[in-house]
Chain A
Amino acid sequence: DQQVKQNSPSLSVQEGRISILNCDYTNSMFDYFLWYKKYPAEGPTFLISISSIKDKNEDGRFTVFLNKSAKHLSLHIVPSQPGDSAVYFCAAIPLNRDDKIIFGKGTRLHILP
């Protein structure tokens, strides 16, 4: 039962263009969402987060959008750079704060030269 779904296993984007990574969730009790980035042979690193009381959070080239009614969030990277090539994990924390950070399966982003 996948509560956090990243339906695109991979995505290729031209350098300089916008990368949009999507994430859907099924549990309406999730109220805090995070994106992690992972390079090979390294642990995931935190990228950006958003609380359910917001619909947008921006940090430099990275913006996360949250659509609660659709149970959907997306990560926008503008402009995409070669160093952005990595696996991106969407994650969610439930309202009851039992501290299970639930991750999706990840989307591998390839930035093309």
Chain B
Amino acid sequence: DSGVTQTPKHLITATGQRVTLRCSPRSGDLSVYWYQQSLDQGLQFLIQYYNGEERAKGNILERFSAQQFPDLHSELNLSSLELGDSALYFCASSVVDRGNTEAFFGQGTRLTVV
């Protein structure tokens, strides 16, 4: 158990809909990262928050947005969903803002868009 909690574990929704994925980081971790893993793809970095502020942005679509709340949990919002958005979405957290540290991953949310 990494200490990072993601809900829900599975999500099935229709095209055009909007969903929210939730992540609770490990206790004490201030950084939260979101990654997308599609079939045959590695972990694509989407976005990172540190202590409530956006810190780094990757290949995140404009239809996607995220935020980190004062209690440090984070939500990833996916809207106008398309079939190609079906993927595993992972959240990770780490303790420091910058430095030689690894991130700890949650078990992921499997999103299926039908």
Contact = CB atoms under 8 A, between A and B. Distances in A.
A102 interface: yes
A100 B45 contact: yes
Contact of B103 (A6, A97, A101): A101
B90 A43 contact: yes
B100 A51 contact: yes
A103 B44 CA distance: 7
A44 B43 contact: yes
A69 B65 CA distance: 38
A30 interface: no
Interface string B93-114: 0000111101111111000000
A93 B45 CA distance: 12
Interface in B4-42: 4, 6, 31, 33, 35, 40-42
A4 B45 CA distance: 12
Interface of A: 4, 6, 32, 34, 36, 41-46, 49, 51, 89, 91, 93, 97-106
Interface in B46-79: 48, 50, 55-56, 58
Contacts of A89: 42-43
Contact of B4 (A4, A43, A106): A43
A43 to B, nearest CB: 3
Nearest to B45: A100
Contacts, number: 64
A46 B45 CA distance: 16
B80 interface: no
Query: Interface centre among A34, A45, A101, by most B CB within 10 Å?
Result: A101
B42 A44 contact: no
Contact of B42 (A43, A45, A98, A106): A106
Contact of B104 (A41, A46, A49, A102): A46
A99 B98 contact: yes
Given A45-B2, A105-B41, A99 B106 contact: no
16 contacts: A6-B42, A32-B100, A42-B108, A44-B43, A44-B90, A44-B105, A45-B104, A45-B105, A49-B100, A49-B102, A89-B42, A99-B50, A99-B56, A103-B44, A104-B42, A106-B42
